[in-house]
Amino acid sequence: MTIDFDQYSCEFCGKKSTNVVFAAFVCGDPECVEKARLARGGPGGHMKKKINEAPITPIDLLKN
């Protein structure tokens, strides 16, 4: 399955989309790619949101 990028615009500047980066349609502009990264939450941002900033390893397991 292919994506027809002509149907989508950059989520940050409105130009024609050329790629999907960090779960966002973006043009090729490095500023838009950076905005997509920040909107996602940076490295591991989607997981941080999923666990509400709690440690991945439960604290009880770390005590042993």
Residue 58 has a CB neighbour count (10 Å cut-off) of 9
Percent of the chain with pLDDT over 90: 39
- Cβ-contact 21, 30 below 8 angstroms: no
For the whole model, what pTM was predicted?
0.63
The mean pLDDT value for 12-29 works out to 92
Dihedral through CA 13, CA 18, CA 19, CA 22, nearest 10? Answer: 0
End-to-end CA distance of the chain: 48
26 pLDDT higher than 60: yes
